[in-house]
Amino acid sequence: MSTLPSITELRAAARVVSIPMRVTFRGVQHREALLVQGPAGWGEFCPFPEYDDAEAAPWLRGALEAGWEGFPAAVREQVPVNATVPAVPASEVESVLARFGPVTAVKVKVAERGQTLADDLARVAEVRRLLPAAGLRVDANGGWAVAEAVPALTLLAEHGLEYAEQPVMAIDGLRAVRLELRRRGIPVLIAADESVRKESDPLRVAREDAADLLVIKAAPLGGVRRALDIVAQAGLPAVVSSALDTSVGISAGVALAAALPELPYACGLGTVSLMRGDVTEQSLVPDGGWLAVGKVQVSDDLLERFAADPDRTKWWLDRLARTRDLLGSA
């Protein structure tokens, strides 16, 4: 994109929404997002509130790519999608899975603060009981130390895991966990998420042999095109995931997954199912474990229904202005 829209243009096109969650996810009970409409369609700016402006800036660049440039050509018309089970009690797993419909893969959140490994084991065991043939992966969001991750994954591996996403936070820790699991003969691959999107050098995790695959999110990496470039340079398989977006944000993830030359794993793009609302009447929720590629038609009525209150709208517009300044002229 040669010239970015001005803050005046962005403020005029911006709408802020607050959508209640069906279940608490990463401590979030209402998901807030700023949507902006450009000549190519709608973009979504929704970095979590605790992120500083520098970390939020790539998210804005991704939203501007969607709204002012559009997405690269797709090589597939639909993408496979996994269900996502938050850190709920095992007794609630079935009701969470029911919202996703038929799926062939499930990601389960583990290592939640305030919970125990016994909680994780019970949750994962219940998913496996309900879906004995599904691909199963766990996501710790860097919540373990190395000394905790290896024994935890050794036990969780008994349920047949495809991979473990970000078991520890630091890249050297990821590498240590990966090598120790190999030494013990535990067949769990290591996937890097935060170690890609939160690093100033997103390729370091690949150079240091710290992961078997990458979990890629379009928004935190600055848009679909930059994410594609990172995957190409890393030379590792990629799973495309979302950041708890509305269907507008999910459409960017779908565009990324659709443009990847290879897509060996089902993607984490079904999280709209965890919300009690959306900004479109045709929500991007999986149909038989798949999402179709295409643009989202945003509803003015739903923008009004889920409009954030004036204080939160001002907070997002102020954040938009500060973040736009960080992007400069291009």
Residue 2, in any domain of the structure = no
pLDDT tens per residue, range 140-154: 999 999 999 999 999
Q: Is 107 a catalytic residue?
A: no
Residues 230 and 278 in one domain: yes
Q: What is the pLDDT of residue 198?
A: 84
- Binding-site positions for Mg(2+) read 139, 165, 193
Confidence grade of residue 63 (pLDDT, cut at 50, 70, 90):
very high
pLDDT at 2 over 90: no
pLDDT tens per residue, range 82-140: 999 999 999 999 999 998 889 999 999 999 999 999 999 999 999 999 999 999 999 99
Average pLDDT, the chain: 95
Contact 34/320 with Cβ under 8 angstroms?
Answer: yes
Residues 281 and 134 in one domain: yes
Average pLDDT over residues 208-228: 96
Give which of 68, 60, 38, 129 is closest to 326, Cα–Cα.
60
Residues 85 and 32 in one domain: no
299 CB burial (10 A radius; 0-12, 13-18, 19+) = middle
Residues 266 and 311 in one domain: no
Q: Of 109, 198, 295, 314, which one is the catalytic site residue?
A: 109
- The CATH number of residue 115's host domain is 3.20.20.120
Contact 265/213 with Cβ under 8 angstroms?
Answer: yes
- Domain of residue 158 covers 78-292
Residues 15 and 96 in one domain: no
Residues 139 and 240 in one domain: yes
Q: Is 198 a catalytic residue?
A: no
Q: What is the pLDDT of residue 1?
A: 66
Report how many domains make up the chain: 2
Residues 120 and 44 in one domain: no
Residues 270 and 168 in one domain: yes
Q: Of 107, 198, 217, 314, which one is the catalytic site residue?
A: 217
- Binding-site positions read 139, 165, 193
E strand or H helix at 252: helix 247-259
Residue 251, in any domain of the structure = yes
